């Protein structure tokens, strides 16, 4: 029998399977990053709407809606002229923090069963003057900081 140089079909199949597994792991990691960025963009949009609602509320009443630091309740969403977004409480919890005077912060806290341990509890904040800040990966310069 004549010997030939090369790889057998089994060896080539094993290599293809290993490369496929590695590619799927990389793709899942990339997809998760895009998914989190989309969730941050959604939260940033909702925070902007809450902030605009606070300004309108201030214009009508002369003061901001009570900044309790607790989650916004359905009646408070209505007072701001907003509907409770479908994702509220699923990926983000929304609330209002007061700092006194004419400044108020709206806050989103990352929640949800799908949140990585490094993301859970992270904060995304928007001041009534339009200043964004956050904690952890949502802080300015972080991988998931909102863009203006």
- What DSSP line would sit under 30-67, residue for residue? HHHHHHHHHHHHHHHHHHHHHHHHHHHHHHHHSSPPP-
What domains are there in the chain, each with its CATH number?
Answer: 9-138 (3.30.700)
Instruction: Calculate the average pLDDT of the chain.
Output: 84
pLDDT, tens digit, 9 for 90 and up, residues 9-65: 999 999 999 999 999 988 888 888 888 888 899 999 999 999 888 888 888 888 888
- When pLDDT is cut at 50, 70 and 90, the band that residue 148 belongs to is low
Q: What is the pLDDT of residue 112?
A: 72
Q: Would you say residue 114 has pLDDT above 70?
A: no
Residue 4 has pLDDT above 80, yes or no: no
Question: Which of the pair, 116 or 5, is modelled with greater confidence?
Answer: 5
First-residue to last-residue Cα distance in the chain: 71
Choice between 67 and 40, residue whose per-residue pLDDT is larger: 40
* Both structure tokens of 103: 């400044």
Rounded CA separation 36/116 (Å): 10
Q: Would you state the pLDDT for residue 95?
A: 87
Q: Which DSSP symbol is given to 97?
A: E
């Amino acid at each position: 029998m004549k010997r030939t140089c090369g790889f057998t079909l089994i060896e080539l199949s094993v290599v293809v399977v290993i490369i496929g597994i590695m590619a799927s792991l990389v793709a899942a990691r990339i997809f998760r990053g895009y998914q989190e960025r989309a969730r941050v963009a959604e939260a940033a949009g909702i925070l902007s709407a809450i902030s605009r609602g606070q300004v309108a509320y201030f214009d009508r009443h002369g003061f901001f809606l009570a900044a309790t630091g607790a989650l916004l309740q359905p009646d408070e969403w209505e007072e701001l002229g907003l509907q409770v977004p479908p994702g509220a409480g699923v990926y983000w919890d929304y609330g209002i923090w007061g700092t006194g005077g004419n400044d108020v912060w709206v806050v989103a806290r990352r929640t949800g069963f799908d949140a990585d341990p490094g993301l859970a509890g992270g904060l995304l904040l928007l001041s009534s003057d339009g200043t964004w800040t956050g904690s952890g990966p949502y802080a300015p310069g972080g991988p998931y900081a909102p863009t203006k």
